[in-house]
């Protein structure tokens, strides 16, 4: 099984948007925070300082704090900070710190009266991006629609709609929004979404073509370009083209040193080769760069396959602590819990509990239906599994897990008919 599919696939599209957040316990009643109340930047580890990039980030932060010291109602400074927190969440993996922060600041901005239309539009985009990152898709759609109502000529606003519609299972509307997005601005963001939609609709070659265009549209070494290249590599890996995937990941690391997701993916390739020793070393290297829960899940899979029960039990407890921290900070982690209970702990009852919670939120989403098919099949409920497979196939997806489940249920039917 593709170990990180539920932890990284859709999240990458969401993380392309400006969005993030942070808790500010001493918020003023008039919705204006002084510079002393603005959350500080967390130090970056040495591996992700990336030369002058970290200096630039700190300088931008200092400039906004200086502006807020002069005027605590400076909404432009607050907006820069919210967007900066979004970037730091992506780069550092400190989602529980930065996402609540950016959300708090965008709420302050939107509560400001009077507020210029352009500032309100950009604040809504940032807020929607945070909501997407927190898996609050209905809220993100509502916020994104408000942004589009203010500015229907902005490609990024339609990107919010694409992501929200995809996650809610409104795939026709997602395609319409993607068409609008790429007409307005064919760039790394729009090509990426076209790629994702093509994959969803079973067009693997078209997905590769569009994501390759996304990579070419970016600047080498930039975080968003590294993300696009990473997603291209994951496309290759998901559909079994591991040599091409490895080449992409290594190229990515040559352009953006220690990019943690590409490091982890090289570890995953070693896992597929049953080289558990090297896979463990490489995955731990990724973990040392940023505390991404998906990396811990990958390490847990290594321990499970290697028969290391003690280490598996310990890291699963660590994963649950991380997930709970995400939940406390407003992140919906239902599918992540379902995946862990199903694939790591083989507890179909617990997996079903969390998957159904997510199903209640978005019953038409093909990923949700696919994991429910997996859970019900493993629980021996073949007819239910077939119903979920049918729902997961509505876009003609050729996702390897879906194809596997179709084969298993077909074989079971043949055996039952004998």
Residue 370 confidence (pLDDT): 98
Contact predicate 382/409, CB 8 Å: yes
pLDDT higher than threshold 60 for residue 36: no
User: Which pLDDT value is given to residue 400?
Assistant: 98
Would you state the pLDDT for residue 416? Answer: 60
The whole-number pLDDT of residue 35 equals 61
Average pLDDT over residues 55-66: 94
Shortest CA distance to 364 belongs to which of 172, 202, 180, 177? 172
Residue 50 confidence (pLDDT) above 50: yes
Q: Cα separation of 291 and 344, whole Å?
A: 19
pLDDT band at residue 260 under the 50/70/90 scheme: very high
pLDDT of residue 32: 55
pLDDT attached to residue 45: 87
Residue 20: pLDDT above 50? no
Q: b/e for 262-285, b at 16 or more Cβ within 10 A?
A: bbbbbbbbbbeeeebeebbebbeb
The per-residue pLDDT for 46 is 87
Calculate mean pLDDT across residues 376-398: 97
Q: Residue 417: its pLDDT value, please?
A: 59
Of 5-14, 101-110, 373-382, 398-407, the least confident = 5-14
Express each pLDDT in 168-204 by its tens digit: 999 999 999 999 999 999 999 999 999 999 999 999 9
pLDDT at 250 over 50: yes
DSSP 43-104: PPPGGGSTTHHHHHHHHHHHHHHHHHHH-TT-HHHHHHHHHHHHHHHHHH--HHHHHHHHHH
The structural domains of the chain, with segments of one domain joined by +, span 333-418
> How many other CB atoms are there within 10 angstroms of residue 103's CB atom?
27
Residue 27's pLDDT is what? 34
Fold of 333-418: 1.25.40
Instruction: Find the length of the chain.
Output: 418
The maximal CA–CA distance of the chain, rounded, in angstroms, is 80
Q: What is the pTM assigned to this prediction?
A: 0.89
Look at residue 411 in the predicted model and tell me its pLDDT: 79
Q: Helix H segments across 185-308? A: 188-200, 204-217, 223-238, 242-255, 260-272, 276-289, 293-305
pLDDT of 18 above 50 = no
Averaged pLDDT, 26-48: 69
The mean of the pLDDT values for the chain is 91
Q: How confident is the model at residue 4 (pLDDT cuts 50, 70, 90)?
A: very low
Q: What is the pLDDT of residues 263-322, one digit of tens each?
A: 999 999 999 999 999 999 999 999 999 999 999 999 999 999 999 999 999 999 999 999
201, with CB counted inside 10 A (0-12, 13-18, 19+), is middle
pLDDT of residue 415: 64
> Nearest 10 degrees: CA dihedral of 410, 364, 297, 126?
160
- Whether cis (ω within 30° of 0) applies to the bond prior to 121 is no
């Amino acid at each position: 099984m593709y170990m990180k599919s539920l932890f990284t696939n859709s999240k990458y599209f969401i993380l392309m948007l400006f969005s993030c957040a942070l808790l500010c316990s001493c918020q003023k009643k008039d919705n204006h925070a002084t510079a002393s109340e603005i959350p500080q930047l967390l130090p970056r580890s040495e591996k992700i300082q990336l030369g002058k990039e970290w200096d630039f980030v700190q300088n931008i932060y200092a400039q906004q704090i200086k502006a807020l010291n002069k005027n605590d109602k400076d909404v432009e400074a607050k907006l820069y900070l919210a967007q900066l927190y979004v970037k730091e969440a992506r780069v550092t993996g400190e989602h529980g710190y930065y996402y609540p922060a950016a959300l708090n600041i965008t709420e302050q901005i939107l509560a400001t009266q009077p507020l210029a239309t352009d500032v309100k539009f950009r604040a809504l985009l940032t807020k929607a991006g945070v909501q997407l990152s927190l898996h609050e898709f209905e809220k993100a759609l509502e916020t994104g629609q408000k942004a589009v109502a203010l500015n229907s000529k902005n490609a990024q606003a339609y990107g919010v709609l694409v992501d929200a519609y995809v996650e809610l299972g409104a795939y026709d509307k997602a395609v319409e929004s993607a068409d609008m997005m790429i007409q307005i601005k064919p760039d790394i963001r729009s090509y990426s979404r076209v790629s994702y939609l093509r994959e969803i609709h079973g067009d693997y070659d078209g997905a590769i073509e569009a994501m390759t265009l996304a990579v070419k549209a970016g600047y080498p070494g930039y975080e968003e370009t590294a993300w696009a290249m990473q997603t291209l590599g994951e496309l290759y890996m998901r559909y079994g083209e591991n040599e091409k995937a490895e080449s992409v990941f290594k190229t990515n690391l040559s352009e953006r040193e220690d990019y943690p997701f590409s490091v982890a993916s090289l570890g995953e390739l070693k896992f597929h080769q049953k080289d558990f020793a090297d896979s463990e070393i490489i995955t731990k290297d990724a973990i040392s760069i940023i505390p991404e829960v998906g990396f811990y899940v990958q390490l847990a899979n290594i321990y499970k396959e290697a028969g290391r029960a003690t280490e598996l039990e310990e890291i699963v407890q660590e994963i649950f602590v991380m997930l709970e921290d995400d939940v406390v900070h407003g992140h919906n982690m239902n599918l992540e819990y379902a995946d862990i209970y199903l694939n790591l702990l083989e507890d179909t009852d617990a997996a079903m509990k969390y998957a159904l919670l997510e199903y209640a939120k978005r019953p038409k989403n093909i990923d949700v239906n696919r994991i429910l098919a997996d859970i019900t099949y493993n629980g021996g409920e073949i007819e239910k599994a077939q119903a979920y497979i049918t729902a997961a196939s509505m876009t003609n997806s050729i996702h390897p897990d879906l194809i596997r489940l179709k084969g298993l249920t077909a074989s079971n039917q043949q055996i039952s008919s004998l």
